């Protein structure tokens, strides 16, 4: 068994965009703990949990690190500036 665990936190929101916004805000608010892998955050509809949508881009950058922008962002990827 790996040392990673997943927290499933259902929220009541009107649509998938709002769910992604809530997930991003939670990731930002918990970043100080250093325990959240924001690049792996996904959201889904309650009745379609096998269809997940990424919240952050998380692409590898040529100079190292990962993109910290939201998934589907316009333009070039941005370096994640979180500690």
**Average pLDDT along the chain:** 90
For residue 69, is it left (φ>0), alpha (ψ between -120 and 50) or beta?
A: beta
- Of 75, 79, 42, residue with least CA distance to 61: 79
Domain ranges of the chain: 6-82
- pTM, full prediction: 0.81
Q: What is the pLDDT of residue 3?
A: 85
Give the distance, in angstroms, between the CA of residue 73 and the centroid of all CA atoms in the same chain. 13
The list of the chain residues with pLDDT below 70 reads 80-83
Q: What is the pLDDT of residue 83?
A: 40
């Amino acid at each position: 068994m790996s040392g990673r665990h997943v927290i499933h936190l259902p929220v009541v929101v009107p649509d998938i965009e709002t769910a992604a916004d809530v997930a991003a805000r939670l990731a930002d608010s918990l970043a100080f703990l250093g325990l959240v892998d924001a690049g792996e955050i996904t959201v889904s509809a309650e009745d379609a949990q096998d269809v997940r949508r990424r919240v952050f881009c998380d692409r590898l950058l040529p100079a190292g690190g990962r993109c910290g922008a939201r998934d589907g962002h316009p333009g070039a990827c941005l370096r994640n500036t979180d500690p």
